[in-house]
Homo-oligomer: A and B are copies of this chain.
């Protein structure tokens, strides 16, 4: 994470030669995790992300809402017996009571419990890393924001797509004025996982809570991937989405949760945009794409091939920018571990959230300041804006597509 990009291994400057957390604190951060047990895709992802750069050791876990299952799973991944907890509440209490207790709590439970665990952990003095969406209601989201502000702790939200180096490259180029004033944005997040009509009974699947709106939130498609799309647009452009005209619904017959949303967007600076998200596009894998056009050029990025990004200047040949390649920004290079041409992927992007947060946490604990480049991870405020966006999309959809304000003022 402090690599200098070179053309060849010979002129590489040690990607993992240093460990800023160990340098700052004399040890790795102690991490306890709530959620993400057997059958969870995202649980393994969080733990691998924490491990990748050797900044954390996992010391405690409450992996399941079923206490017995959770404790066994914790033992299976090597957690000590006395820190294999039966519930999130037990974990927070237990770790808070130990001299060698966790520094950080990571939360990857069903959406409706993010608020409860986040606030409880913050109140006990833990820094928090939380899966998205931040909360199911704006009220809960704002409560988390307030608590973060009051406690002064670090709170990172794993909108992991912002961790991709080329997404950070896009952010840098926009911030640097290389695209000029932003005018047009097109974002789509298309998947095919819910294309089949004969879904197995969701209640029998491994994550039944996702099909219960009380738990998964007001719109499954918007909470699941619409917030990723919104966060990605905001992260890259630095411009707030101001108004939305949307339709959100279920295209597959007899489905109780939303599986598609289309939206037109107006940005605070006058730019216009279009969003298309669905999980019902048969055969599509995980097609998150972003196009941003400004007065000086356009960029195009596609998650399925994340190591490249097209840059189309208004007055010259199209360019293919590459991770660690020519013109890579410091923010982008920082999030990259390997030489150009050696692909990185989802794990590394996700790990960048963890690794950046680790530096912010270590600096806070040491009373110092983190590298400013480490401070681009999504925050509680970002999450609250996402919750507001979801709400506005649903309201617009219910109002015959009327343009609806989605700004969130956080003084």
A residues neighboring B (CB under 8 Å): 7-19, 22-23, 28, 37-45, 47-48, 51-54, 73, 76-78, 180, 183-184, 186, 188, 190-197, 200, 202, 205-207, 210, 245-247, 249, 251-252, 260, 262-264, 270-274, 276, 278-287, 291, 293-298, 303-307, 310-322, 325-327, 337-348, 400-403
Q: 5 closest pairs, A vs B, by CB? A: A283-B312, A286-B341, A285-B341, A8-B193, A343-B345
CB of A343 within 8 A of CB of B346, answer yes
How long is the Cα–Cα vector from A345 to B346 in the complex, in angstroms? 8
CB of A78 within 8 A of CB of B11, answer no
Q: Contacting A38 at CB < 8 Å: which of B17, B45, B247, B313?
A: B17
CB of B280 within 8 A of CB of A293, answer yes
CB of B197 within 8 A of CB of A295, answer yes
Assuming A251-B271, A293-B280, is B322 touching A285 (CB within 8 A)? yes
Question: A193 — which chain B residues lie within 8 A by C-beta?
Answer: 7-8, 10
Enumerate 13 A-B pairs (CB-CB under 8 Å) in ascending A order: A10-B210, A12-B41, A17-B76, A184-B280, A192-B298, A282-B296, A282-B298, A283-B297, A284-B341, A285-B340, A306-B343, A318-B320, A401-B402
Assuming A41-B12, A44-B337, is B76 touching A314 (CB within 8 A)? no
Question: A296 — which chain B residues lie within 8 A by C-beta?
Answer: 282
Q: A9-B40, A195-B295, A251-B271 are in contact. List 20 more A-B contacts (CB 8 A).
A: A10-B205, A10-B206, A14-B43, A14-B44, A17-B39, A17-B73, A19-B76, A48-B53, A51-B51, A284-B298, A287-B341, A303-B341, A315-B326, A318-B325, A338-B345, A338-B347, A343-B343, A343-B345, A347-B347, A401-B401
CB of B283 within 8 A of CB of A318, answer yes
Question: A184 — which chain B residues lie within 8 A by C-beta?
Answer: 251, 260, 278, 280-281
Assuming A184-B251, A197-B295, A347-B347, is B312 touching A48 (CB within 8 A)? no
CB of B77 within 8 A of CB of A54, answer yes
How long is the Cα–Cα vector from A48 to B52 in the complex, in angstroms? 7
Question: A281 — which chain B residues lie within 8 A by C-beta?
Answer: 184, 291, 293, 298
A201 to chain B, nearest CB (A): 12
How long is the Cα–Cα vector from A194 to B314 in the complex, in angstroms? 10
Q: Contacting A272 at CB < 8 Å: which of B249, B279, B295, B343?
A: B249
Assuming A14-B39, A319-B317, is B307 touching A284 (CB within 8 A)? no
CB of A9 within 8 A of CB of B327, answer no
CB of A313 within 8 A of CB of B282, answer yes
Assuming A207-B9, A286-B342, A346-B344, is B327 touching A317 (CB within 8 A)? yes
CB of A191 within 8 A of CB of B341, answer yes
Question: A210 — which chain B residues lie within 8 A by C-beta?
Answer: 10
Question: A188 — which chain B residues lie within 8 A by C-beta?
Answer: 186
Q: Contacting A285 at CB < 8 Å: which of B284, B285, B325?
A: B325
How long is the Cα–Cα vector from A107 to B314 in the complex, in angstroms? 34
